[in-house]
Amino acid sequence: MLATIPAFATPADTGQLDASPSLFTVLAAINAAGYKADFASPNNHPLREAIQKELAKREIPSLPALKDFFEHHRKRTDAQELSQYISFALSCTGPPNFDFAIRDVDMPPDVTPLRELSRLLAAFYKEGNLEDLWKRSQPAIEQYLTRYHEPVTNSVLQVNGYFRQMTSGFRNRSFQIFIELQAAPNQIQTRSYSDNYTIVVTPSPELRLFDIRHAYLHYFLDPLATRNKEVIDRKKALVDHAMRAPALSGIYKEDFLLLVTESLIKAIESRLDRKPAMIEDSLKEGYILTPYFAEALPFYEKQESSLYIYYPQMLQAISLYKEDRRLTGVEFNKDAAAGAVVKTAPAPAPPPLAGAALTLRDAEQAYTTRDLARAKTLFLKTLEESDKKSTQATAYYGLARVALLEKDLDAAERLFQKSLASEPEPFDKAWDLVYLGRLSIAAGESEQAVKYFQTAFDLEGATEKARQEARQGLEMAKKK
Q: How many CB atoms lie under 10 A from the CB of residue 19?
A: 23
Are 130 and 273 contained in the same domain? no
b/e 229-243 (16+ beta carbons within 10 angstroms → b) = eebbeebeebbebbe
In a domain, 407, yes or no: yes
Closest by CA to 137, choosing from 194, 93, 199, 180, is: 180
Q: How many CB atoms lie under 10 A from the CB of residue 41?
A: 12
In a domain, 66, yes or no: yes
Are 181 and 39 contained in the same domain? yes
pLDDT at 350: 47
Closest by CA to 72, choosing from 120, 27, 109, is: 120
pTM of the model: 0.70
Are 367 and 313 contained in the same domain? no
Are 75 and 163 contained in the same domain? yes
Domains held by the chain: number:
3
Are 166 and 37 contained in the same domain? yes
Are 53 and 113 contained in the same domain? yes
Among the candidates 164, 188, 212, a domain finishes at 188
pLDDT tens track, the chain, 480 positions: 443 333 222 333 334 899 999 999 999 999 999 999 999 999 999 999 999 999 999 999 999 999 999 999 998 888 889 999 999 999 998 899 998 887 777 788 889 899 899 999 999 999 999 999 999 999 999 999 999 999 999 999 999 999 987 555 455 678 999 999 999 999 999 998 766 789 999 999 999 999 999 999 999 999 999 989 999 999 999 999 999 999 999 999 999 999 999 999 999 999 999 999 999 999 999 999 999 999 999 999 999 889 989 999 999 999 999 999 999 989 999 875 444 444 444 444 445 556 888 888 888 878 877 889 999 999 999 999 988 888 899 999 999 999 999 999 999 999 999 999 998 888 889 899 999 999 999 888 989 989 999 999 888 777 777 888 888 888 888 876
In a domain, 140, yes or no: yes
Span between the terminal Cα atoms of the chain, in Å: 52
- Please tell me whether residue 49 adopts helix, strand or coil conformation: helix
Are 307 and 427 contained in the same domain? no
* CATH code for the domain of 364: 1.25.40.10
- Domain boundaries, position 22: 17-188
pLDDT at 1: 41
Beta strands at 196-201 and 17-18: parallel, antiparallel or unpaired: unpaired
Are 93 and 180 contained in the same domain? yes
Residue 205 to residues 23, 146, 211, 247, Cα–Cα distance (Å): 21, 15, 14, 28
In a domain, 403, yes or no: yes
Are 385 and 470 contained in the same domain? yes
H/E stretch holding 453 reads helix 446-458
Are 250 and 375 contained in the same domain? no
Taking the C-alpha atoms of residue 195 and residue 464, their distance in angstroms, rounded to an integer, is 11
In a domain, 276, yes or no: yes
Among the candidates 158, 188, 218, a domain finishes at 188
Are 361 and 265 contained in the same domain? no
H/E stretch holding 197 reads strand 196-201
In a domain, 459, yes or no: yes
Are 24 and 166 contained in the same domain? yes
In a domain, 285, yes or no: yes
Q: How many CB atoms lie under 10 A from the CB of residue 15?
A: 10
In a domain, 114, yes or no: yes
Among the candidates 159, 188, 217, a domain finishes at 188
